[in-house]
Structure 1
């Protein structure tokens, strides 16, 4: 008779690799990684988050079982100090030798999941290929759609600096990251279709998720105590880093023309485009609403639900988004969200079934002012929009559902890796043979 049970196989380990993890400059990618790693850990996966050197104090964003491991990296640019700071904060194509060496030495990792592109991703690619293990990449920015916007942003950030890192990119195979990835995860169907034309079924569209219970539990009274400068009147809120992409300038201009005089505008988010906050402040003064616009700076993720609970309306006037997590957070907080029907946000408008009510089809100030004025004047419209968004979040965008799909995808990738060291390359050769 058997007197013992065989030990269960150890849980697979996965490393999520980012180009930045800083609670003082929190963004959508960090929110996504913190939530998805929490879900993976709850399902028995061994999960780590790898990021360049930064704050080491506990931030309570990662689950207790998720390790944060820092690695050395450097920004291979020279030039203007302000521009260099902007590159480090948002768009710099940084280099790490430390991280690929760590991945090479840690053979216990089953796969890597990289959440950036460029040279950091190239280092992951090289280490995983040398050790015969797969990696997947999540594209949290434009890849083949809205690329002109990306090129414009990159050129603006790199004004006054010179990039000396091209040899590192060549050495690490940074330009082959997508070509050699087991899966390329994107967050809107337009991007998936464009990538599929080059990478076939390795391009996969995924949803983001949101913790509906946490956001619905926001407390307006706590927000009043935390931000007394917002006063006691109605509040319109925009939560997002201070950057041209998030378009706080449009929010201020539309607020000046469309919001009643007793409303205040709360702009919450760390500045990642140096000088942009000052430009928005100048705009608020020029429009005569400086006394009604409050710049809250970086807001801890734990405090965002309270701020949203304080808001009568949430704004997302972004010039472009790869998904639109801020829209989901507003809906989860059971608040109406006025957002731009552009790039991936158009997909959220379609999912909501909105034909122009709270999804503004243009970035024209007049159109935004008119929409804001109409929604703020109608409590029934705000209530209906909030209810529709909250229902959509519960039906489609819960983290449990997103994580289940990701785990299934990981299982496919690991099974393919056992059968062949580069199954996607074999499929690509077969496809080329059929079309040649």
Structure 2
């Protein structure tokens, strides 16, 4: 059984009143949040559950509220975090590469060599603690060289170059998540999709669906994300018997994508149905397999099991699943950090502040940037720094400092 948790769900009537007090229409609020008017309507009629800390804080900022309790009606005060999006020093160089003049002469590269560099950069993303800083050092050149290579290539090599460049933009989207303005973020997503379409390659298209789904879910459109990923997964499913390990890995990645989006919509049956599909796909691929950029494999399926339970509000189940996962079986450092962060979220929801702080410190120790540049990580760090009891306050402030959020 899951233990009692503080009600962190938005109260529909409170949300409506707060919006009207700001003299905002539903479309206006939707625009400020980066979601659809239908999303706002469902939230105000109680059809959509909003209980994730990043969105709760975001709503409060947009509506001019100072405490999450003003939206939830909860008894526990949760002052609104003052820190917004945290920029990374590499963003401007990335922006310059993305918007570089079209007729600037860049040296093309052999497509195979470029593909090797991209694969190596994905390995760096999953293998180091400061993944954004490491990848930011090479992404701009990969983008510029990728475009030069594609322009110089002909025939089948041009399509192959498009596949590789689409993977570059998929990596750029991972780097840019939560740290850049929406126009730049969606430019990266759209280019990954456009290049996959130019390549006319089913795996590239499925990868672009994974990228597009990430964007939609980050914008709060979990329904759209679920549809895009499910469509791609069902397309690949027909080829899993005879397909390559890479195809099966991407299929499993999309299944996890659907499962997580369904969990965030509180569609429990759908969430575990798609997670089961991913679990079977991972078992077939074996314990040593990891998709080179989605990190799909048995360990990642286990991490998503924790995340899904947490997003469904089943925090006891999430923590039980956490105890069954050996972090060393998760090759991706970023995903290992996410496991600890989800455990911290679960403990915080159960008012176990000491345990939440312990798991958050593990998440930061595993990958500081995976927490520092993630809204859920920053929100939790600031929340614990503000609400920790006196004996834990110094430790909570130390963690908040590492994450880069205000401690008071």
* Alignment TM-score > 0.5, same fold: no
Query: Larger Rg: 1 or 2?
Result: 1
Q: Which has the higher helix share?
A: 2
Q: Which has the higher strand share?
A: 1
TM-score for the superposition, normalised by structure 1:
0.28
TM-score normalised by length of structure 2: 0.29
